[in-house]
C-alpha cells in the first residue's frame, strides 16, 4: 500500500537531497519513474481529466515498453488518479463538482481526525517538523506569473498538511489523507490561481500550527476544518464558473 507513498516526490525531490550519498532509494525502476511523472502530469492538469490514455501513444511519448507503462499506471490507480477497465484500458480520473465535494467532506473528516490523533500522541519531533514546514511555506511566495514557483509552493503546502497529521501513528489513515490531498491538489492546480481576497491563507496555516504545537485540540481542529472547508467552497465556485457539472 505504501509503495506509492514514498514521502517526498515530484517537485520536492529535486530541491533538497543535495547530500545523501545513497539518495537513489525509491525511484529506481522505470515503472516508478513513470508513476511519478504521470502523477505530476495528472495533478498539474497536463493530462486532461477524464481523457483516455492510449497505451501505444504513451509508450512512444515516454520511450518505454508496455510493461513499465502498465506498472506505473497501476500505481496511480491506488492514488485515485487513474481509472481502469478490463480490455478498455486506462483513463485519467474525471473531475466533477460531486467529486470535489466528496473530497472536501472526507478531508474534513479524516484530516481533522488525524490531527486530533496527532495532537494526542505526537512527540516533540513532530512539533518541530510542523514549525519547520510552516516556516518554509510562509517564506515562499506564490507568483502566478512563474509556474515553477507555483509548483514549489504546492509542494511545500502539501508537505505542511501532511506534516500536521504525520504524528498520528496511523499509516492507513495517512495513506487515505495523502490520497485525498492528491485529488484535492488537482482541483487547486486547475482552478485556483490566487486565493480570494478575504482570506489570509498564511495566517490560517499559522493558526493551525500554533494550535497543534500548543496541544489545543479543539482550537487546532476547528481551524483546520474551516481551512479545508473554505478551500472547498472556493474551489467549488471556480469549478462552477468553468461550467463543470
Partner DNA sequence: AGTATTGAAATAATCGATTATTTGTCAAGC
Partner DNA sequence: GCTTGACAAATAATCGATTATTTCAATACT
Give 65 or 237: the residue with its C-beta nearer to DNA. 65
Let me know: does 180 contact 110? Beta carbons within 8 Å.
Answer: yes
Q: What are phi and psi of 85, to 5 degrees?
A: -140, 135
Q: How far is the CB of 33 from a copy of itself (least distance, A)?
A: 10
The entry of a copy of itself, DNA, none near residue 170 (CB within 5 to 8 angstroms by kind) is: a copy of itself
Stretch that binds a copy of itself, among 97-105, 123-131, 145-153, 206-214 (CB under 8 A): 97-105
Q: Give, as one character, the DSSP assignment of residue 68.
A: H
**CA 72 to CA 240: how far, in whole Å?**
32
Phi, psi angles (nearest 5°) of residue 21: -70, -25
The residue from 18, 22, 56, 197 that contacts DNA (CB under 7 A) is: 56
Residue 74 beta carbon to a copy of itself: minimum distance, rounded to whole angstroms? 4
In whole angstroms, how close is the CB of 55 to DNA at the nearest point? 3
Q: Pick from 7, 14, 26, 146 the residue near a copy of itself by CB under 8 A.
A: 26
> Residues 6 or more apart from 144 whose CB is under 8 A from it?
150, 193, 194
Residue 210 buriedness (CB in 10 A; 0-12 / 13-18 / 19+) = middle
Pick between residue 81 and residue 150 the one whose CB is nearest to a copy of itself: 81
**Nearest residue (CB) to a copy of itself, 29 versus 203:** 29
Look at residues 206, 124, 120, 116 and name the one whose alpha carbon lies nearest to residue 160: 206
Using the contact rule CB under 7 A, the part of the chain among 83-91, 96-104, 150-158, 211-219 near DNA is 83-91
Q: Are 113 and 215 in contact (CB under 8 A)?
A: no
SS (H, E, C) 152-178: HHHHHHHHHHHHHCHHHCCHHHHHHHH
Q: Which does 235 bind (CB under 5 to 8 A by kind): a copy of itself, DNA, none?
A: none
Q: State the nearest-atom distance from the C-beta of 52 to DNA, in Å.
A: 6
CA 179 to chain centre: 7
Choice between 110 and 155, CB closer to a copy of itself: 110
- Return the bridge partners of 84, or none: 90
Residues lying near a copy of itself in the complex (CB under 8 A): 1-4, 26-29, 31-32, 67, 70-71, 74-75, 77-78, 80, 83-87, 93, 99, 102-103, 105-106, 109-110, 113, 170-173, 175-176, 180, 183
Amino acid at each position: 500500500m505504501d509503495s506509492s507513498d514514498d514521502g517526498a516526490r515530484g517537485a520536492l525531490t529535486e530541491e533538497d537531497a543535495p547530500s545523501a550519498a545513497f539518495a537513489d532509494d525509491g525511484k529506481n525502476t522505470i515503472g516508478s519513474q513513470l508513476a511519478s511523472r504521470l502523477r505530476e502530469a495528472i495533478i498539474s492538469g497536463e493530462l486532461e481529466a477524464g481523457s483516455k490514455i492510449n497505451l501505444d501513444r504513451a509508450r512512444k511519448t515516454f520511450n518505454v515498453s508496455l510493461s513499465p507503462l502498465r506498472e506505473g499506471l497501476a500505481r496511480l490507480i491506488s492514488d485515485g488518479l487513474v481509472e481502469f477497465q478490463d480490455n478498455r484500458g486506462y483513463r485519467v480520473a474525471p473531475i466533477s463538482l460531486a467529486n470535489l465535494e466528496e473530497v472536501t467532506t472526507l478531508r474534513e473528516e479524516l484530516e481533522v481526525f488525524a490531527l486530533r490523533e496527532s495532537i494526542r500522541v505526537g512527540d516533540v519531533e513532530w512539533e518541530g517538523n510542523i514549525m519547520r514546514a510552516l516556516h518554509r511555506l510562509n517564506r515562499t511566495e506564490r507568483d502566478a506569473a512563474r509556474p515553477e514557483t507555483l509548483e514549489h509552493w504546492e509542494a511545500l503546502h502539501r508537505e505542511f498538511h501532511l506534516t500536521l497529521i504525520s504524528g498520528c501513528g496511523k499509516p492507513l489513515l495517512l495513506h487515505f489523507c495523502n490520497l485525498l490531498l492528491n485529488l484535492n491538489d488537482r482541483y487547486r492546480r486547475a482552478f485556483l490561481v490566487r486565493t480570494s481576497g478575504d482570506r489570509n491563507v498564511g495566517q490560517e496555516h499559522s493558526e493551525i500550527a500554533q494550535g497543534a504545537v500548543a496541544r489545543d485540540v479543539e482550537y487546532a481542529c476547528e481551524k483546520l476544518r474551516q481551512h479545508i472547508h473554505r478551500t472547498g467552497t472556493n474551489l467549488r465556485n471556480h469549478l462552477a464558473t468553468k461550467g463543470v457539472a
